Chain A
Amino acid sequence: GESVGLHLPTLSVQEGDNSIINCAYSNSASDYFIWYKQESGKGPQFIIDIRSNMDKRQGQRVTVLLNKTVKHLSLQIAATQPGDSAVYFCAENKHQAGTALIFGKGTTLSVSS
């Protein structure tokens, strides 16, 4: 079936570096994309989202980029901190009532100080 996947299972960075986590999606019908952070033993925590009519969206220290031509999504974290260490998932769906999110495989971000 169609799914959302991440390119790298792990990413290790130094504190203060910028991190880039990538995701490829395959469902052309998806029009809503979300990045989640999941810490061990907890549920997913919303980071940032983007709709398909946008290429870029910025939050606090985070930026999501969407390239619909190559079906690619990325999450950029500026000045990465040890507290950013977690597993990051991208998710997609058709943004309408009753539609579930489809999650990618996840990237484990490790930040060393």
Chain B
Amino acid sequence: GAVVSQHPSWVICKSGTSVKIECRSLDFQATTMFWYRQFPKQSLMLMATSNEGSKATYEQGVEKDKFLINHASLTLSTLTVTSAHPEDSSFYICSASPGAGGSYEQYFGPGTRLTVT
């Protein structure tokens, strides 16, 4: 149990276009989902925390208008990278947590490799 999927697993896009990444909890309801970014040979850096039905909370330095997060249901959160630039190329990882009333553990997705050309 506790499986989180991400789609796509990798994507290449041209500079200036937008890309949407999906994060799904397959066998549990996720009250909270988290989005992380990981550059090569670096650690995971938290970008934002999203709760179902409310606006995401972004970490300092993360542009909310550039990284749009939608947590529309208890099993799906999306991250849209708008007007992508080469410096946005990174490995994006989501995690999901059942949250209050259940487990506080977080379950990670397999990640999405974004390359902006």
> A36 vs B111: C-alpha distance in the bound complex, in angstroms?
14
Q: Indicate if the CB atoms of A43 and B108 lie closer than 8 Å.
A: yes
Of B14-22, B44-52, B80-88, the one touching chain A: B44-52
Of A52-60, A78-86, A93-101, the one touching chain B: A93-101
Q: A97-B32, A98-B49, A100-B34 are in contact. Are A44 and B93 (CB under 8 A)?
A: yes
> A28 vs B113: C-alpha distance in the bound complex, in angstroms?
34
Chain A contacts for B95, CB-based, 8 A: 101
Q: Indicate if the CB atoms of B31 and A42 lie closer than 8 Å.
A: no
Q: A42-B111, A98-B49 are in contact. Are A105 and B43 (CB under 8 A)?
A: yes
Q: Indicate if the CB atoms of A44 and B44 lie closer than 8 Å.
A: yes
> A41 vs B91: C-alpha distance in the bound complex, in angstroms?
8
Q: A44-B93, A101-B95 are in contact. Are A89 and B110 (CB under 8 A)?
A: no
B106 within 8 A of A: yes
> A29 vs B63: C-alpha distance in the bound complex, in angstroms?
28
Measured CB to CB, the nearest residue on chain B to A105 is B43
Chain A contacts for B109, CB-based, 8 A: 43
- Chain B interface, >50% SS class: strand
Q: Indicate if the CB atoms of B93 and A97 lie closer than 8 Å.
A: no
Q: Indicate if the CB atoms of A89 and B43 lie closer than 8 Å.
A: yes
Chain A contacts for B100, CB-based, 8 A: 97-98
Out of A44, A97, A99, which one reaches B108, CB within 8 Å? A44
Q: Indicate if the CB atoms of B31 and A41 lie closer than 8 Å.
A: no
Residues A28-69 near B (CB distance < 8 A): 32, 36, 41-46
A interface with B by C-beta (< 8 Å) = 32, 36, 41-46, 89, 95-106
B interface with A by C-beta (< 8 Å) = 6, 31-32, 34, 36, 42-46, 49, 51, 91, 93, 95, 97, 99-100, 104, 106-111, 113
6 contacts between A and B (CB under 8 A): A41-B113, A43-B110, A98-B51, A100-B46, A103-B44, A103-B45
